[in-house]
Amino acid sequence: MSDSSFTSIIYEVGDGRARITLNRPDKLNALSLELQAELHEALWEADNNQDVHCVIIRGAGRAFSAGYDLAGGGNRVPVSRIEGEGGNNYRGGRSLDDDAWHLERAQRFRMALFDMHKPVIAQVHGYCLAGGTDIAMLCDMVIAAEDATFGFPPARDLGALPTNMWLYNVGPQWSKRLLLTGDTVTGAEAQQIGLILKAVPADLLEEEVEGLANRMALIDPDLLSANKRIINLGLELMGAKTLQRLAAENDVRGHNTRAAAGYMQSVREVGLKETLKRRDAKFGDGRARVNGPEIRDDQGKLID
Domains and CATH numbers, the chain: 2-281 (3.90.226.10)
Between CA 108 and CA 105 the distance in angstroms is 5
| pLDDT digit string (tens) for the chain, length 304 residues | 666 789 999 999 999 999 999 999 999 999 999 999 999 999 999 999 999 999 999 999 999 999 999 876 566 543 333 333 444 556 766 788 999 999 999 999 999 999 999 999 999 999 999 999 999 999 999 999 999 999 999 999 999 999 999 999 999 999 999 999 999 999 999 999 999 999 999 999 999 999 999 999 999 999 999 999 999 999 999 999 999 999 999 999 999 999 999 999 999 999 999 999 999 999 999 999 999 999 999 999 999 8
Task: Kindly give the residue spans of alpha helices, DSSP state H, lying in 118-220.
Answer: 131-138, 166-179, 187-193, 205-216
Which residue intervals of the chain are DSSP H helices? 33-48, 79-82, 96-110, 112-115, 131-138, 166-179, 187-193, 205-216, 221-237, 240-255, 258-270, 272-281
Instruction: Encode 122-144: b = buried (16+ Cβ within 10 Å), e = exposed.
Output: bbbbbbbbbbbbbbbbbbbbbbb
- Quote the pTM value: 0.91
